[in-house]
Amino acid sequence: MSWIVLVLSGVLEAVWATALGRSEGFSRVGPSIVFAVALVASMAGLAFAMRELPVGTSYAVWVGIGAGLTVAYAMATGTEPVSVAKVFFLLLIIAGVVGLKLVH
* 6-62 pLDDT tens trace: 999 999 999 999 999 999 999 999 999 999 999 999 999 999 999 999 999 999 999
Q: Annotate 8-28 with b (16+ C-beta within 10 A) or e (fewer).
A: ebbbbbbbbbbbbeebeeeee
What is the pLDDT at residue 72? 94
Based on its alpha-carbon atoms, the radius of gyration of the chain, rounded to whole angstroms, reads: 14
Name every residue whose Cβ is closer than 8 Å to that of residue 59 and which is 6 or more positions away in sequence. 46
Cβ(68)–Cβ(93) under 8 Å?
yes
CA angle 7, 12, 14 (to 5 degrees): 100
What is the pLDDT at residue 64? 94
The domain locations on the chain are 2-103
pTM of the model: 0.90
What is the pLDDT at residue 59? 95
